[in-house]
Structure 1
Amino acid sequence: MRTVTIGVSSIEETSARALAAFRGEMQGAFISFPTVEGLWTVLTPRRWALLQALAGREPMSLRAVARLLDRDVKNTHADVHALLNAGILDRTDDARIVFPYDSVHVDFTIGKAA
């Protein structure tokens, strides 16, 4: 099972993971945002539902994604493109949409110590 960790990381933390990966240390899949607010701006409730629906599925057309979610194609298009632009979704060579993970782990800390 391929799991991606979505979280909040500083530039220093992200750089440290990249350097460790260059040294051959396994890091796993990460999608990092600089702030919690940035994460919630990109990952709205409708976009979370989209990721949940696509997790573990084969690539599909935009219209198929809209049908799967029982949503309007225009609104689905906007959400898919926001997630593509954020690097969360991928597009195959034949223009199909894919979320290349089976599951998502969310990781961030809030509070004064954060």
Structure 2
Amino acid sequence: MTILNVTVGTSIEKTLDNFGAALESAINGNPVAPQFGVGFASMAQFGDVFTPKRWELIAALKATGPLSIYALAKHLDRHYRNVYKDVGILTEWLVIEKNSDGHIFVPWDEIDVRLPLKKDAA
């Protein structure tokens, strides 16, 4: 199962610590499970990328399999230009990909979104 890990509000230090631990494990000859992820500094930034219409696009694309942007726009009953823009943004954030035929698809079995809650200092 391939999982895209999406985190919101995780510090760059924590991300680098996780990378360092994985690198050290690999250098020591230990197997390292592949991890695929993207991070957002804030919930606002996350919301700018993962709009409700883009979640609909992701779900439809996963259900139908690879499609051209034109076919996806028709399937969603949306304007081509808007779907084209959404595909560009979701591709940039690694959520969808293009195959050798130029069709787009969702390569993930799951998208795991995490928002760590911070404790207020008393």
**Fold-level match, TM-score > 0.5?**
yes
Alignment partners' CA distance in 1, 2:60 and 2:38: 18
CA shift at 1:70, angstroms? 2.1
What is the letter of the counterpart of residue 78 of structure 1? K
My pick for the range that moved more, 64-73 or 51-60, is 51-60
Cα deviation, residue 32, structure 1: 1.5
CA distance change for structure 1 residues 21 and 66 in 2, over 3 Å: closer, same or farther? farther
Pairs within 5 Å for 1:1-114: 1-8=1-8, 9-22=10-23, 23=26, 24-26=31-33, 28-55=35-62, 58-110=65-117, 113=120
TM superposition shift of 1:69: 1.7
After the TM superposition, list the runs of 4 or more consecutive aligned residues in structure 1 that deviate by more than 4 angstroms. 110-113
Distance 1:112 1:3, change over 3 A: same
In structure 2, do the counterparts of structure 1 residues 34 and 97 end up closer, same or farther at CA, with 3 Å as the change threshold?
Answer: same
- Kept in 1, the 8 Å contact 2:3–2:108? The answer is yes
Instruction: Structure 1 unaligned segments of length 5 or more: list them.
Output: none
Letter in 1 for 2:5: T
Q: How many residues align?
A: 113
Aligned residues of 2:87 and 2:96 also touching (Cα < 8 A): yes
Cα distance in structure 1, aligned partners of 2:18 and 2:64: 28
Moved more, 42-51 or 53-62: 53-62
Structure 2 alignment gaps of length 5 or more: none
Cα pair distance change 1:7/1:56, threshold 3 Å: farther
For the pair shown, which has the larger CA radius of gyration, 1 or 2?
A: 2
Question: Given the two structures, how large is their TM-score scaled by the length of structure 2?
Answer: 0.74
RMSD (CA atoms): 2.3
